[in-house]
Structure 1
Amino acid sequence: MFSSPAWLGWSVAGLFTVLAIVSLAQVLGALPCAACGDGVTGDRESAVAHAVMAVAMALMFVPWGDSVPALAWQAVFVAMAAWFAATLFRAGPGMPRWRSAATHHLLGAVAMLAMVGAMDGAPAASGDHGGHSAASAGFLLPAVLAALVVYFAADTALSGWRAVRGGTGGRASGAARAVMGAGMAAMLVPML
């Protein structure tokens, strides 16, 4: 799905597979999820979202990732976006809604929907997802994609900083979030 040299695609897919395994271990309680929950979003729902995103991103880098129908991915990410939008809506007064993990996961689901939508077209050409670029879609889509790239790049930097200076649990969660953010930004850039 994502145009890259085979060795790089498999390496990145392996990295995202490791992140999916770590997230699943957090869901099952085998590993702590120090930076997952924040009062708005629970630890397990955040870890499940990380696992789903990591699996989807891993599949985008392997040749047989095309075997998953775009409609299936769209259903997953629409459901994820709706879940986290509802989580934000239900958050009590005084809760950090717009700095919460729910906002982060909502933006991630929107970014994945954009990627899946772009990949659902013609075969990839010159590094574009599905042969489409945002430039051919008017002004709104490129603006949204650019904002998502900036968000995920900034989140990568902040998460990386937290991983470097954080405690034991914060390091692992911060590093995982930094890798996911970097992957999201890198996958969105060719769509601009």
Structure 2
Amino acid sequence: MFSSPAWLGWSLAGLFTVLAIGALAQVLAPGARSWAACRDGVTGDRESALAHAVMAVAMALMSVPWGNSVPALAWQVVFVAMAAWFAATLFRAAPGVPRWRSAATHHLLGAVAMLAMVSAMDGAPATSGDHGGHSAASAGFLLPAVMAGLVVYFAADTAVSGWRVIRGGAGATRAVMGAGMAAMLVPML
């Protein structure tokens, strides 16, 4: 589904698979904290790790040619459900909690980005050598505008997360996932 040279698609698939395994290890670790809240006070630790795992698996599959075998409707159901879950999480958050900086907001935007990609790809015929003539430009003005905004968000989030990592903090997974998301959205514009 991701229009790229084969070596880049397979490299991204490998990277996203490693990230998915790491996220699943966090979800399934016997000594891991329960569904306790993340530092943001909105999203649960395991809930956030599970979202990272689902996104990483989806991005890995979308990076390789046989990822096209997954029906667009299946992806749409997954990402609508994920978006609804994190929207509800934001709605349930305690008053005074900075929702816009929460992991729930980040995961909601990630689900919207994946949904936008899948929607732009839905019905676009695949051509030889790439994963389809997928372009949001044929979808009117709204979808390309949303995708451009998401590219800006994920590029900025990658920079901020990367800076935190450089300064000795956490966020390497978020930085890599954000970079991958921006890279997969740009060709769709």
TM-score scaled to structure 1, two decimals? 0.89
Query: C-alpha displacement at 1:135, in angstroms?
Result: 2.3
Over 3 Å counting, the alpha-carbon distance change for 1:68 and 1:137 in structure 2 is: closer
Task: Specify the alignment match of 1:188 in structure 2.
Answer: 185
Question: Where does residue 179 of structure 1 map in the other structure?
Answer: 176
Separation in structure 2 between the aligned mates of residue 184 and residue 123 of structure 1, nearest angstrom: 22
| 1:63 Cα deviation after fit | 1.9
Match of 1:24 in 2: 24
Could you tell me whether the CA contact under 8 Å between 1:163 and 1:175 is conserved in 2? yes
- 1:99-138 C-alpha deviation (Å, 9 max, x unpaired): 1000000000000001111222223459987424222223
Question: What's the offset of the Cα at 1:96?
Answer: 1.3
* Shift in alpha-carbon separation, 1:102–1:147, aligned structure 2, 3 A: same
Q: Distance in 2 between matches of 1:19 and 1:43?
A: 16
> Which residue number in structure 2 is paired with residue 145 of structure 1?
147
Alpha-carbon contact 1:40-1:88 (below 8 Å) kept: yes
TM-score by length of 2: 0.90
Where structure 1 has 5 or more consecutive residues not aligned to the other structure, the ranges are none
Map 1:39-58 onto structure 2 (within 5 A). Answer: 39-58=41-60
Deviation, 1:77, is 0.5
Q: 1:7/1:127 Cα in 2 relative to 1: closer, same or farther (>3 Å)?
A: closer
Indicate whether 1:159 and 2:156 are aligned: no
- How many residue pairs are counted as aligned between the two chains? 186
Shift of the 127–99 alpha-carbon distance from structure 1 to 2, 3 Å rule, reads farther
RMSD value, Cα? 2.3
CA distance in 2, matches of 1:123, 1:69: 13
Deviations 1:36-95 (A, max 9, x none): 552100100000000000000000111221221111111110000000000000001011
Structure-2 separation of matches of 1:134 and 1:25:
35
Output the amino acid matched with 2:187: P
CA contact (8 A) 1:115 1:129 kept: no
Query: d(CA) in 1 for partners of 2:143 and 2:24?
Result: 32
Offset from partner CA, 1:128-160 (integer Å, 9 cap, x none): 874242222232222111110000000000000
| Unmatched tracts of structure 2, length 5 or more | none
- Whether the 8 Å contact between 1:24 and 1:48 is mirrored in structure 2 is yes
